Amino acid sequence: MPVLDKPLSELNTYLGSSPCPGDIDAYWDNGLSELRRVEPAVSLTESEFSAPFAECSNLYFTGIGGSRIYAKYIKPLQVSSPHPALLFFHGYTGASPQWMMLLPWAAAGFSVFAMDCRGQGGKSEDTGTVSGTTYKGHIIRGLDDSAEKLLFRSVFLDTVQLARIAMEMPEVDPKRIGAYGGSQGGGLTIACAALEPRINRAVAEFPFLSDYKRVWDMDLCKRAYEELAYFFRSFDPLHAREDEIFNRLGYIDIQNIAGRIKAKILMGISLADDVCPPSTQFAVYNKIKSIKQNKIYPDFGHEMLPGFADETFTFMMNMNTETV
């Protein structure tokens, strides 16, 4: 097995090395209260893409700060209602998948909601109503302001707003909502399930946005986490504010809110991952208190995990056989 991180015996009990702010529950409870005061103002328009067995729509809603957020919405036709739904979250700097990539879920009887993260590669607005991409820097956006200005606070709350919209669709069973994503999408899946306890099932593949101090200590602030190195080099070269910075990042560290999850969880963990190190993935998994399982890939990094998509499909389909 490749040696990148701690031995598996230690990973199985690792609980993270990054600080957790003492008021984190109040921080997110206040955020959720703020979100409840935001009128989502949902709008739906027909997509240019069509499929014979599904209705494809462009969905826009309003998130924190007034930003208009975009999601692909696919409603299966000739499927009894209410039926289950899947929320899909994409990787860092990217966008929601092409329609064709989402159709298998609709064919299986799921409504599908695939969100574009604000300011990344899709159609959602960034904070400040900027259309289009700001590409990267989202982890460090707001570090020199109050913790309420952290950009990922808004993104996490966008996932909750989308979940609530899905739950209110007349064709959707609000008790059978799943969330799914890899990398940043895995991190947002964890955040969504933590902040919206009605999520039934969640699948997170090598989740991003976890245990920032551990990433720093492993000298892996490269690629996905490179902006942390940029921030210190540019704005705190002597690390005079290191404790303050990592404490503030603790508000948007998914391991610190994983204990709030009520959903059933499936995680795919890659032990040779030098983008989202294994210890940061286990820090999340080990703090989840709900029913959970993981699939560990010893020889794989931040890449497609063989068989995991099939595991995900079966895991989500089992929502249809359980009593809710």
Query: Active-site residues: which are they?
Result: 183, 273, 302
Structure tokens at 258: 């994983």
Q: Which residues contact 296 (CB under 8 A, 6 or more apart)?
A: 8, 269, 271
Residue whose entry in the numeric block shows the structure tokens 């989740």: 207
Structure tokens at 133: 């991409």
Distance CA 276, CA 51 (A): 36
Residue 191: HSE in the Cβ half-sphere, 13 Å Cα cutoff:
32
Residue 68: HSE in the Cβ half-sphere, 13 Å Cα cutoff:
12
Residue whose entry in the numeric block shows the structure tokens 């899909």: 88
Distance CA 307, CA 310 (A): 5
Structure tokens at 107: 């064919």
Torsion sign, CA atoms 262, 263, 268, 273: negative
Burial class (CB in 10 A: 0-12, 13-18, 19+), 69: buried
Residue 212: CB atoms within 10 Å: 25
Distance CA 244, CA 250 (A): 10
Q: How far is CA 148 from the centre of its chain?
A: 19
Residue 32: CB atoms within 10 Å: 14
Q: Which residues of 220-230 are buried (b: 16+ CB within 10 A; e: fewer)?
A: bbeebbebbee
Radius of gyration over alpha carbons of the chain, in Å? Answer: 19
Contact 178, 85 (CB under 8 A): yes
